[in-house]
Amino acid sequence: MASINTNPSAMTALQSLHVTNKALAVVQGRISTGLRVAEAKDNAAYWSIATTMRSDNKVLATVQDTLGLGASRVDTAYTALESTLDLVSDMRQKILAAIGKDPSGKDQIQQEISAIQAQLESMARSATFSGQNWLAVNASETNGHPAEGVHRPVEIVSSFSRGHTGAIELGMIEIDVDRIKLYDDAATTNETKGLLEGLRLASTGKRDDTAEAPATPGADAEATDGYAVASLSVSGYSDDQLKDMLSVVDATLKEMTDAATSIGAAKKRIDLQKDFGSNLMDSIDRGVGQLVDADMNKESTRLQALQVQQQLGIQSLSIANSNAQNILSLFRQ
């Protein structure tokens, strides 16, 4: 039956064309954005996962920056500590050379030792990066150093992760500043002072609060005799006392070597963590891409097919509409 009020063929063709145009808009959107899940309405679950992972990746980028800053601080401390090790080793040679010398010879050697002591302090106090110095500290301050009366290491944020419950977890690389400091302006006891300034017992080489500088240079050795690299003097001291100084300097060198090893290990860990973080960010990007990226080869093929369907739909609608025109011919004379 032909009707001028209702054209079922045109309705069907129009519905088909509408579906084709809608699919075509989706494919064009995917091609223009490169994403098959660009909004939550495309796939709520994948969009939520991708959004969270992209956000986490931005945090990981910040962690990488933090690691870079931490690496710079560690490098600064390590470089200064390595240089001071060489100077303390030179001082040991000077003390050894002073043994057996007459008083005037010891005075001359002391001038060289005093220059080394001044240079040691200068190096330690210059080892500052971004407002932090781990070699010359003040325990009463909290700008990256242990708080007064509290043994607390400096922490460098090294990793960021999200647990199975969604809770954020941070990984830390710790630097024990109290173990590597050379000077501490706020310390009041030998045991809390830096490696170079705390008096060490000649018998043990350990920083000890019972240690005291010899009251009389050249006198017989006492059990409490103590020396420190930062303050020792060979002028007027006996050869036996110089030998005690050698023992103290050797013990200091050992602790400084341990400190350099500790910093070196932290430096290596930071480098490894930076490499891992970079690889992890790339892995997350690939994972997100697998969830939301569009297959451009597939979408371009679909685009061509839909464009053909669109043209056919338009043609079909035109034919359906032309059927109504045929009714007019029945009224022509």
pLDDT tens column, 228-269: 999 999 999 999 999 999 999 999 999 999 999 999 999 999
Look over the chain and give the mean of its residue pLDDT values, rounded to a whole number: 88
Q: How confident is the model at residue 2 (pLDDT cuts 50, 70, 90)?
A: low
Query: Nearest CA to 244 among 256, 226, 231, 230?
Result: 226
Flag whether pLDDT at 138 surpasses 50: yes
CA distance 49 to 291: 9
DSSP-derived letter for residue 146 is P
Q: Are 156 and 67 in contact (CB under 8 A)?
A: yes
CA distance 142 to 133: 11
Q: Give me the mean pLDDT over the 196-217 stretch.
A: 91
**195: how many CB neighbours lie within 10 A of its CB?**
28
Here the tokens at position 135 are 């070699």
Q: Give me the mean pLDDT over the 114-134 stretch.
A: 93
Handedness of CA 99, 101, 102, 105 (dihedral sign): negative
Flag whether pLDDT at 227 surpasses 90: yes
Handedness of CA 136, 142, 144, 146 (dihedral sign): positive
Query: Nearest CA to 160 among 172, 146, 148?
Result: 172
Alpha-carbon separation of residue 58 from 35, 36, 170 (angstroms): 19, 22, 15
Say what percent of the chain tops pLDDT 70: 93
| pLDDT given for residue 239 in this prediction | 92
How is domain 54-274 classified at the architecture level of CATH? Up-down Bundle (1.20)
Residue indicated by tokens 């941070």: 170
Among the residue ranges 165-174, 221-230, 322-331, the one predicted with the least confidence is 322-331
| pLDDT given for residue 110 in this prediction | 95
Handedness of CA 311, 316, 319, 321 (dihedral sign): negative
Residue indicated by tokens 């990984």: 171
21 Cβ partners below 8 Å, 6+ apart? 310
CA distance 229 to 198: 8
CA distance 67 to 70: 5
| pLDDT given for residue 149 in this prediction | 41
Q: Are 234 and 154 in contact (CB under 8 A)?
A: no
Question: In a 3-state reduction of DSSP, which class is residue 265?
Answer: helix
DSSP-derived letter for residue 288 is H
CA distance 31 to 244: 80
Flag whether pLDDT at 328 surpasses 80: no
Among the residue ranges 53-57, 90-94, 104-108, 121-125, the one predicted with the least confidence is 53-57
**9: how many CB neighbours lie within 10 A of its CB?**
15
Q: Are 88 and 120 in contact (CB under 8 A)?
A: yes
**127: how many CB neighbours lie within 10 A of its CB?**
22
Query: Nearest CA to 135 among 146, 147, 123, 149?
Result: 123
Q: How confident is the model at residue 152 (pLDDT cuts 50, 70, 90)?
A: low
Flag whether pLDDT at 167 surpasses 90: no
Question: In a 3-state reduction of DSSP, which class is residue 164?
Answer: coil
Q: Are 39 and 47 in contact (CB under 8 A)?
A: yes
